[in-house]
Structures are given as structure tokens and as C-alpha cells.
Amino acid sequence: MSSGASRRGAWLAWVVQALLVLAVVAGAAWVVNHALEVLRSRGVRSGFDFLTEPAGFSISEGWLDFDASQPFWRAFLAGLVNTVRASVPAAIFSVVLGTLIGIGRLAPHVLLRGICTAYVELLRNVPLLVQLLMLAFAIANLLPDPTEPVRLLPGVWLSKGGLSVPWPASGEGGWWPAHFEWPEKGDFGVSGGAALSPEYVTIVAGLSFYSAAFVAEIVRAGILSVSQGQVLAGQAMGFSPVQQLRIVILPQALRVIVPSLTNQLLSLVKNSSLAVAVGYPELVSVANTTIGSNGRAFECIAIIMAVYLLLSLLISFGMNRYNARVALRGWR
């Protein structure tokens, strides 16, 4: 674009750019200054000093125990840990389910194709928030009471109280899990194993089902991008359909799939912020509670944004490393 720019043009370009920088900096400074002034005039304290004060609210679940006497920074940390605790299983489930459905959409069986297509079209075209609220309502109202749970699989119980699944339990003195602890049904509900709260089940299941529809489309496009000659060559080698998929198609399809999948994982992590609407205490929910209790909106939103930007960077970095491994090297 800069071709043909005369010396006078170049000068002008630098002057305009310098003015632009000045305008942006001045604008930002005015906005921050004005906001602080308004805050001060309303008697609202500002700054991040509140992070060391006791939070005054507790967080019901998560890997990090948190009670009301602990400081805010630990609440945010517990919220972040809860975000990860919901996003990672949801990412795994959605990639597995989405891959199966994506392959199913190309299966040589009209019924299977139809069911997979219906799944994608149904879930993709309804807002995730509506699906989450619907799931939350269904779990809270339509499932049986915790005293009469439904057995989904051996050792997997579902009720209004949530989901119980087998979980590795560490044996005497060792950190290595010695055996799986199986949930047992007693008179007062299910005990043992891992008890997952209804909110946690809602957000993980909702995110997984929704994202799987998008992953399926990515996988399908990836498979379709492999040239037909490759498939024919695989058939000529006497590969079975499963071998064709595993040896010929998927390795090449991954080159197309991975960049789009990265985008999808990024949006999955950002979508986990919707958990605030169904009462799962992740980062946004903690921030929202904090704003409600001390009014530090600017600081809390800044924390949310910074943390998500960091998470996005980490995922991009990891997935780009993976992409570099699956991408074609050499010519082309």
C-alpha cells in the first residue's frame, strides 16, 4: 500500500499517525480520569486493595475450598480453578462427541447421517444460554429426588442432587489411587465416589453438547478436504473403512481441523462464563458476586478480561504447537 508515497506523503503519514497515538492516549486518559472522578464524587473507593480483604461470601464447590473469611484474591483464584474444572472436561467431551458426529454425518448409512445432521442443526441454532437454562430447569425439577436416584450405568447415579460417578480413591498412605470408589445407594441418597453438583453437570453437559455440534462441522469439513484420490488409494491398498479413516483420512484432515478447532476451544472457554446464569461459581460468577458486595465493577471486570485474555493466549499457544506437529512440512 505504501508504494508510490512521496517524501511529503511519508511525512504526512507520520504526522497523522503521531496525532492518532496522541488522540488514543488522551482519550483513554480522559476516560479513566473522568471515571475515577465520578467514582470519587460518589464516595466509591477504587483500586485493587480490596483483594486482600476478607470476601464475606463462600463458594459452595470446587477444588479449592473457600469460606467467607478468606480474601477476595483467593475467591477469584477459586473461580478461575472452577472455570478450568468445567472447561477441560467439556472440551474433551465435545471433541470426542463432535468427532463421532462429524464422521457420522458422512457415514454410508442414511439413517445415521440423518440423526447426526439433526443433532447438529438442532443444537447449533438455539442460543447456548437457552439450552443451559433448559438443562438447569430439567435437572432441578424433572429428575427424581436424591433419595431415589436413577441408575444411568453401573455406578453412575443421577438425581436432583446431581451426578455420582466412580472416582479413584487413594489407598493407605499412598498418593497413587489404589482402587476406584463406587457410589452406593443408601437410604439418604448416594454416597461415595465423586458427587458432581447439578450446576456443574448443567454447565459441563450444556457446553459439551453445544460445542460438539460445531466440532462436528469442523471435522466434517476436514474430512471432506482430503482428496478423493487418497481415499481410492487407500481402498486399493485393501484398507477397511476404519483403516482408511485412521491411516489415510484423519492424519490429513487434522491439518484442516486443528486451526478451526483452536477457535472452537477458545469460544468454549469463553462460553463457560455463561455458568454465571445457572449458578455455578466460576470466575465471572465470583466477579459478579464481588461487584454486588463492594461495587468495584471496574476492577472486577478488568480481572475477568485479563484472565480470559491469558487463558486465550495459553490455548492458542498450546494448539499452535500441536498444529505445527500435524501441519505439512516441506513443500506445498
Kindly identify the residues of this chain, within the stretch 104-123, that bind other proteins according to CB under 8 A.
106, 108-113, 115, 121-122
Residues 260-299 contacting other proteins, CB under 8 A: 266, 270-271, 273-274, 276-277, 284, 287-288, 291, 297-298
Q: Which is nearer to other proteins, 75 or 165 (CB)?
A: 75
Q: Which long-range contacts (CB under 8 A, 24 or more apart) does 131-134 make?
A: 131/206, 131/209, 131/210, 132/202, 132/203, 132/206, 132/274, 132/275, 132/277, 132/278, 133/277, 133/278
Per DSSP, what are the bridge partners of residue 181? 167
Q: Which is nearer to other proteins, 164 or 271 (CB)?
A: 271
Q: Which is nearer to other proteins, 2 or 69 (CB)?
A: 2
Residues 88-107 contacting other proteins, CB under 8 A: 106
Q: Which is nearer to other proteins, 238 or 330 (CB)?
A: 238
Residues 225-244 contacting other proteins, CB under 8 A: 228, 231, 241, 244
Q: Which is nearer to other proteins, 16 or 92 (CB)?
A: 16
Residue among 17, 52, 60, 293 that touches other proteins (CB under 8 A): 17
Phi, psi of 186, rounded to the nearest 5 degrees: -115, -170
Least distance (Å) between residue 166 CB and other proteins: 27
Q: Which is nearer to other proteins, 122 or 324 (CB)?
A: 122
Binding-site size for other proteins (CB under 8 A) equals: 71
Residue among 68, 247, 305, 314 that touches other proteins (CB under 8 A): 305
Query: Which has the closest alpha carbon to 163: 123, 187, 134, 135?
Result: 135
Per DSSP, what are the bridge partners of residue 292? none
Least distance (Å) between residue 174 CB and other proteins: 41
| Contact call for residue 6 and other proteins (CB under 8 A) | no
Least distance (Å) between residue 307 CB and other proteins: 9
Burial class (CB in 10 A: 0-12, 13-18, 19+), 48: middle
- Which residues neighbour 308 within 8 Å (Cβ) at sequence distance 6 or greater? 269, 270, 273, 283
Least distance (Å) between residue 187 CB and other proteins: 26
- Classified as helix, coil or strand, 167 is strand
Residues 32-61 contacting other proteins, CB under 8 A: 34-35, 38-39, 41-42
- Helix locations, 105-170, DSSP H: 110-124, 128-137
C-alpha cell at 165: 460417578
Residues 115-174 contacting other proteins, CB under 8 A: 115, 121-122, 124-131, 133-134, 137-138, 141-142
| Contact call for residue 12 and other proteins (CB under 8 A) | no
What's the number of CA atoms in the CB half-sphere (13 Å) around residue 154?
2
| Contact call for residue 3 and other proteins (CB under 8 A) | yes
